[in-house]
Amino acid sequence: MKNNVASPHIIQSISEWHQLFRLPKPMHPLVSVLDVSLLDYSHSDVWKHFSHDFYCVALKQSHTCKMIYGQRDYDFDEGVMTFTKPGQVFKMQPIPNATTTGYLLLFKPDLIRNFTLGKTISSYGYFSYNLAESLHLSDSEQSTIISLFQQIDQELKVNIDHFSQDIIVSHIELLLNYANRFYSRQFITRKAHNHDLLSNVDELLSDYFNDEKVQFSGLPTVQYVAQQLNVTPDYLSDMLRSLTGQTTQQHIHNKLIDKAKELLTTTPLTVSEIAYQLGFEYPQSFNKLFKNKTNVSPLEFRQSFN
């Protein structure tokens, strides 16, 4: 059967992005800072289904369009930052008679390739968050971020010299580090909501390991847990780390070990039978994980209770 879903239009260069918005050519082929008020999504049908080959950092203080990511759509209040990486697919729906302010930073991977940021950018997990997990800024945080957008823009407007790229990349890295700090604050200020999410993680994993189908389905993955809770894997791990100091994978392993201890002390099942019941294909893998987490083998743990 043919797949009738149309492929997204891929915007391959920052110059093409400028052309689609009928803006002057960018001052630098690898990086650009745009005033959001100049962006009119009604000029082209491209925005109905598109992707891009560069990083995008946006500060939206009000919004002229509805953004669709995956199967959900989002409207934003003032002071919201979003982060997208190359290859993500979006749709835009213009909102009639709306006004907007804000900034948009676009930069190609080649800009940072020979810098430390080129190696560390994958550690900024928020580039993999969905739009519901955007960063909501306070007034003072907005001022800090706006200042950095303006400094990058100003550097692009002066004559390019041997120091230009170093300065631009350092400003981008500083902006991303501030975003990390502000996300940490957001995790703290939304602690009640995040504790609910933590409870949901624990409940989901308990139900999973108590269900007999685990031996056929295998161990739950981080992707599975995130999907069941309707969040992205990176956001879930970052949130859990902020609350407990542990990632989603560590939570999965902890819940698994708790269930294994229960079975070892309350049932006559052999270690191999317990391994299979908990979704392991090979008992040796179960033994290795158990000993890594508890410093004793499953059999030694069982014997300590006899």
Tell me: pLDDT of 272 over 80: yes
Measured CA to CA, the distance from residue 175 to residue 168 in angstroms comes to 11
How high is the mean pLDDT of the chain?
85
Q: Are residues 170 and 70 in the same domain?
A: yes
For residue 179, give every residue at least 6 positions away whose Cβ sits within 8 Å of its Cβ, in sequence order, or none.
57, 81, 83, 124, 126, 135, 145
Say what the pLDDT of residue 73 is.
Answer: 44
Q: Any idea which residue has 């409207």 for tokens?
A: 75
End of a domain among 189, 209, 236? Answer: 189
Confidence grade of residue 187 (pLDDT, cut at 50, 70, 90): confident
pLDDT confidence of residue 194:
72
Report pLDDT digits (tens) over 87-127.
887 776 665 556 678 999 999 999 999 999 999 999 999 99
8-24: per-residue pLDDT in tens?
778 889 999 898 888 89
The pLDDT assigned to 179 comes to 96
Q: Is residue 239 part of a domain?
A: yes
Note whether 229 and 146 are same-domain residues.
Answer: no
Residue 57, SS3 per DSSP: strand
Q: Which pLDDT does position 72 carry in this prediction?
A: 44
pLDDT tens sequence across 290-305: 999 999 999 999 988 7
- Can you tell me the mean pLDDT for 70-78? 45
Sign of the CA dihedral with 61 first, then 64, 68, and 74 last: positive
The answer to whether position 2 is within a domain reads no
Domain extent at residue 286: 192-303
Q: Specify the pTM.
A: 0.70
Q: Is residue 199 part of a domain?
A: yes
Read off the pLDDT of each residue in 202-207 and give the average, rounded to a whole number.
91
| CATH number of residue 276's parent domain | 1.10.10.60
Judge whether residue 35 has pLDDT over 70. yes
Using the predicted structure, report yes or no on whether residue 75 has a pLDDT greater than 50: no
Tokens 């031996």 correspond to 215
- Both 221 and 123 in a single domain? no
Q: In this prediction, what percent of the chain has a pLDDT beyond 70?
A: 86
Question: Cα separation of 269 and 287, whole Å?
Answer: 15
pLDDT at residue 84 tops 70: yes
Mean pLDDT of 14-40: 89
pLDDT of residue 69: 44
The whole-number pLDDT of residue 4 equals 54
* Token pair 């902890």 in the structure block, residue: 254
Number of domains in the chain: 2
* Tokens of residue 245, six digits: 């100091």
